[in-house]
Homo-oligomer: A and B are copies of this chain.
Amino acid sequence: MDDGGWRPVKRTRTFEDVLAQIERRIAEDGLTAGDRLPAERQLAEQLGVSRSSVREAMRVLESLGVVSSQVGRGPDAGAVLTSRPDTALTDLLRLHLGMAGLELREVIDARHMIEQWAASHAASAGAGTAALAAAVSGMDGARTAEEFVEHDTAFHCAIADASGNRLIAAIMRSLRDSMRRYAVEAVEHLGDTAILRAGHVRILRAIEAGDADEAARAVSEHLAHAYPSLFDH
């Protein structure tokens, strides 16, 4: 097993080099969302690589929610830096769930963790209750499970937003998006949404009152009602 001091030649693919240089430029020049990257052809010439390699790097950046490409001409055309971690996270979770690389139970546990945290922090912050109330009344008017889940998602994402942490809010949104299908099933299986709606009201009241502990408790019991089969441990 001795390699005699030799180590494998680092095989760096061209597009990875391009990625690294773009990332370096972002850090050194302090680029942020809204700034433009050079055009593909120009970047290819400057870096001495083919346009294909630049494009593959762009696809990676785009899939990670860092750039957005616009065709045409003008100030808004070309590769523009964005900050969309949530769409990237959603794709990531959906793909890994589809491949059975992750189990639904793990996603729901993560959601449980985040919602408890977000609810107690939202209660401490005491902001954003208007969006919560709107989502609650939206659920009252829902006629189908899909509609209900739609507003339910809005409610729970509003809690995460109210916590003030964009990363955690992005994770929350991605978890909800990738679980949408299962959430609809769960609501249909439950039949009656009265218990869920009561849980939402309780959470809302706790956040409005600024009671962090009560908010966390309310979230925990709410999720236990929504997914009874997954809380038998």
Contact = CB atoms under 8 A, between A and B. Distances in A.
Contact of A167 (B27, B107, B165): B107
A91 B167 CA distance: 14
A184 interface: no
B64 A83 contact: no
A189 interface: no
A99 B26 contact: yes
Contacts of A27: 98
B64 A99 contact: no
Interface size grouping (class) on chain A: 35 or more
Given A63-B64, A64-B91, A101 B114 contact: no
Interface stretch (A52-60, A196-204, A206-214): A52-60
A41 interface: no
B33 A101 contact: yes
Interface in A90-107: 91-96, 98-102, 106-107
Contact of A99 (B33, B93, B100): B33
Nearest to A88: B92
A23 interface: yes
Interface in A16-30: 23, 26-27, 30
B98 A26 contact: yes
Contacts of A109: 165, 167-168
Interface string A72-91: 00000000010101001101
Interface of A: 15, 23, 26-27, 30-33, 52, 55-56, 59-66, 81, 83, 85, 88-89, 91-96, 98-102, 106-107, 109-110, 113-114, 117, 165-168, 171
Q: Lowest 10 CB-CB distances: which A-B pairs, in order?
A: A83-B101, A60-B63, A113-B117, A106-B167, A56-B59, A59-B59, A106-B165, A63-B63, A66-B95, A27-B98
10 contacts: A27-B98, A32-B100, A55-B56, A56-B56, A59-B60, A64-B88, A65-B92, A83-B102, A106-B168, A109-B165
